[in-house]
A = this chain, B = another copy of it.
Amino acid sequence: MTEPSKVERRSRRGGGRDARRTARASGNQGPAAPFITRQIAPVDILNDEACEIIENNAETILEEIGIDFRDDPEALVILREVGCDVQGERVHFPRGLARKLCSTAPSGYTQHARNPERSVDIGGMNTVFAPVYGPPFVRDLNDERRYATMEDFRNLIKLTYLHPGLHHSGGTICEPVDLPVTKRHLEMIYAHQRLSDKPYMGSVTAPSRAQDTVELSKILFGTEFVANNTVVTSLINANSPMTWDDTMLGALKVYARNNQAVIISPFILAGAMSPVSVAGTLAQTLAEALSGIAFTQAVNPGAPVIFGSFASSMSMQTGAPTFGTPEPAKVLYGCAKLARRLGVPFRSGGSLTGSKTADAQAAYESTHTILPTVMGGTNFVLHSAGWMEGGLVADYAKLLLDADQLTMMPKLVNGIDLSENGQALDALRETGPGQHFLGSSHTQANFEDAFWRSQMADNTTFEQWSSEGAVDSIVRARQQAVEMLAAYEAPAMDPAIEEALRAYIDKRTEELPDTDY
């Protein structure tokens, strides 16, 4: 991986902050690992007895209350065939059936990237970071908040590609509203494929768009490779409470039948879309996830699938979603444990905030989400950088601020080195009371990568910081984004593949109507 040094090499102004930033960047980063593997156990706040209560309640929901599968007669047929009690569109799962169906889901899978060094292993002790997903707006490099365009989409993919903190290119990093709804998915998928070599997500806004994603992936990876490997992971949100709609079910079926992965995600604003309690939200989330995962396995046993959970609290006074609060952190810790007990990978969390600007509120709330995400053992993290305003906005500056924080996570979860070198008894003997360790041979041998270093933080003195313009972190991040985008170079691609991708897109663009749905 050569991007970060490429980016830094471009920094041509001499002295001051730029020189320091270059010095820092040439330091301990090294080639970034394609994902994180933890050495410490996930934080666990729900014991086995508590899990059994929640699991029992989820079974009660599935059996007694049931789950709606709407406007998709085929789904109802499939579910009836595997033993569900289907009444109208309401599907009741006899106690234990959903969990039994889930048992064919793999405990983890590899999502291949076109650059094999960037393929990610999703599940187990691993964590994969993907950027923000879904915002119709951006806050751009001029600090302007406006509707997102395809150019923003490409820029944010480029920044994600260049950043060592992000392992995955994500999906709808913003919604390019300047292209017709019917066609934009083609340019979005192509941008991921062409501008990055990290793994990516597929379209879910219509079954035909999911199919386009699969076809474009076949062109990029080869038809046989896609038949035998997972190259796309896509987001299937529940219409909580306890409802799946035909759009999501249709996309799910396309991906599952093609052995491509889906994230089955109850999407819950607790208090509105679930009970106003953590244990109630956990039971409902588990019931919805079980129903969706069971459905994928009914469609295609063994298809890769992730147990997802998006949970936010809401202000019970104004109805506004709130982030960085303790209740969603508890839902996350609990769901992560429930997913481990179910034996499937888990997705949740991110760097979430309701703030309108990348101020202290944004960073407090984001950190109060991403730390539980990582410490709780989440395997796939959407929204891990760039999310703003409750998901309405993708913020260029915050993408880099958050991603910088993500680069510390490998060191946070790798445990404590108890090797002889880690214990450093000789350094203690060599130095002794009242002396300093700066010149000790142990320090000299270890200082390069002893401590994680932020590439965005300013740790100079007040005097130096002031003399350089008293620039705060938002402004530093925007400066870095400008430099990175100017230095960006697309990863190489076989011209024949590039041509074939464009030909497919041009053909489909011709075929499809110009409508807004």
Q: Which residues on A are within 8 Å of B, measured CB to CB?
A: 20, 23-24, 27, 40, 43, 45-46, 50, 53, 57, 60-61, 64-68, 90, 145, 239, 241-243, 270-280, 282-284, 313-322, 324-327, 329-330, 334, 354-368, 371, 375, 389-390, 392-393, 398, 401, 405, 408-409, 411-412, 415-418, 421-425, 427-429, 431-438, 440, 442-443, 446-448, 450-454, 456-462, 465-466, 470, 472-474
Give min CB distance, A353 to chain B, whole Å: 9
**Does B359 lie within 8 Å of A433, measured CB to CB?**
no
Whether A416 pairs with B279 at a CB distance below 8 angstroms is: yes
Q: Which residue of B280, B327, B434 is within 8 Å of A423 (Cβ)?
A: B280
- Copies of this subunit: 2
Contact A452 B279 (CB under 8 A): no
CB atoms of B283 and A428 under 8 A apart: yes
A356-B462, A473-B359 are known contacts. Are A280 and B457 too (CB-CB below 8 A)?
Answer: no
Q: A433-B67, A450-B276, A451-B276 are in contact. Are A367 and B371 (CB under 8 A)?
A: yes
Look across to chain B and name the residue whose beta carbon is closest to the beta carbon of A404. Answer: B364
B322 and A459 contacting across the interface, CB-CB below 8 Å: yes
Within 8 Å CB of A367, what residues of B?
Answer: 363-364, 367-368, 371
A432 touches B241 (CB 8 A): yes
Write the nearest CB–CB distance from A216 to chain B, whole angstroms: 34
Quick check: A418 and B452 within 8 Å, CB to CB?
no
Contacts A57-B425, A60-B425, A423-B280; is A411 near B326 (CB within 8 Å)? Answer: yes
Closest to A49 in B: B418
Q: Which B residues are CB-close (under 8 A) to A448?
A: 316
Partner of A438, one of B271, B398, B412, B424: B271
Residue of A278, A371, A409 with most partner-chain B CB within 10 A: A278
Residue numbers in B under 8 Å from A282 (CB-CB): 416
Contacts of A90 in B (CB 8 A): 433
